């Protein structure tokens, strides 16, 4: 976003950093949503422009492995995903939040990530840059699970997000992995996690 501030008949262009926040939960106001909203509050205190992508509200078909993106690095499926691609490219920071299902991210988020195969084709088949000038974004992952911490509880989800960020030329700056959140809204009683999310949002683009 550009802001033009007139001062003494002069115009100064202020370029605001952009943060894209991806809500991956299929339900509204769940624990991952609450944490992501706290991260957004932190980012907004730093003067960052926030774009919210609420996947459950979008119509996103799964990748059908047609190979159409290999020609121009553009997905050929015409749905709501088409208006998200440019947001990811423009982003200086990306935060992804998801509950854990069967040791991985939500089905809705996985479909979203799979549709970013077009970026893979652009980068590795066509040798085109993801962002102008080879710019690198910063990325952060928030995950919540009902089960108490156990071996490998978050491993699959973390690997998926790291692969997603890698294709998007986004540096994996950190994570908040929260276990033992059985009930909806349970994270409201975990102030330390809320503060961690707030701090992560505030500092991500400065990282």
For residue 88, the tally of other CB atoms under 10 A from its CB is 20
pLDDT tens digit string along 19-75?
999 999 999 999 999 999 999 999 999 889 999 999 999 999 999 999 999 999 999
pLDDT category of residue 14 using cuts at 50, 70 and 90: low
Where does the chain have alpha helices with state H? 31-45, 69-72, 85-90, 107-114, 117-120, 155-167, 191-203
Q: Is the pLDDT of residue 12 over 70?
A: no
Residues 84-112: pLDDT tens digits?
999 999 999 999 999 999 999 999 999 99
Helix (H, G, I), strand (E, B) or coil at 99: strand
Q: Are 86 and 118 in contact (CB under 8 A)?
A: no
Residue 22 belongs to what domain range? 2-206
Look up the CATH number of the domain holding residue 130: 3.40.50.360
Residue among 159, 40, 14 at smallest CA distance from 100: 159
Sequence length of the chain is: 207
Number of domains the chain contains: 1
**Model-level pTM?**
0.90
């Amino acid at each position: 976003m550009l802001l033009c501030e007139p001062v003494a008949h002069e115009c100064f262009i202020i370029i605001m950093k952009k943060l894209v926040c991806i809500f991956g939960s299929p339900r509204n106001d769940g624990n991952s949503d609450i944490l992501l909203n706290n991260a957004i509050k932190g980012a907004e205190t730093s003067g960052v422009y926030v774009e919210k992508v609420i996947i459950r509200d979008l119509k996103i078909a799964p990748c059908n492995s047609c190979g159409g993106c290999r020609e121009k690095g553009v997905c050929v499926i015409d749905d709501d995903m088409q208006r998200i691609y440019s947001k990811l490219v423009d982003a200086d920071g990306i935060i992804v939040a998801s509950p854990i299902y069967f040791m991985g991210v939500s089905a809705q988020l996985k479909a979203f990530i799979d549709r970013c195969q077009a970026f893979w084709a652009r980068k590795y088949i066509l040798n085109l840059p993801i962002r102008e000038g080879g710019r690198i974004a910063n990325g952060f992952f928030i995950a919540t699970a009902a089960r108490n911490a156990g071996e490998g509880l978050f491993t699959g989800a973390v690997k998926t997000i790291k692969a997603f960020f890698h294709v998007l030329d986004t540096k994996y700056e950190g994570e908040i992995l929260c276990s033992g959140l059985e009930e909806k809204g349970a994270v409201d009683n975990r102030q330390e996690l809320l503060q961690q999310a707030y701090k992560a949002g505030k500092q991500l683009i400065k990282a």
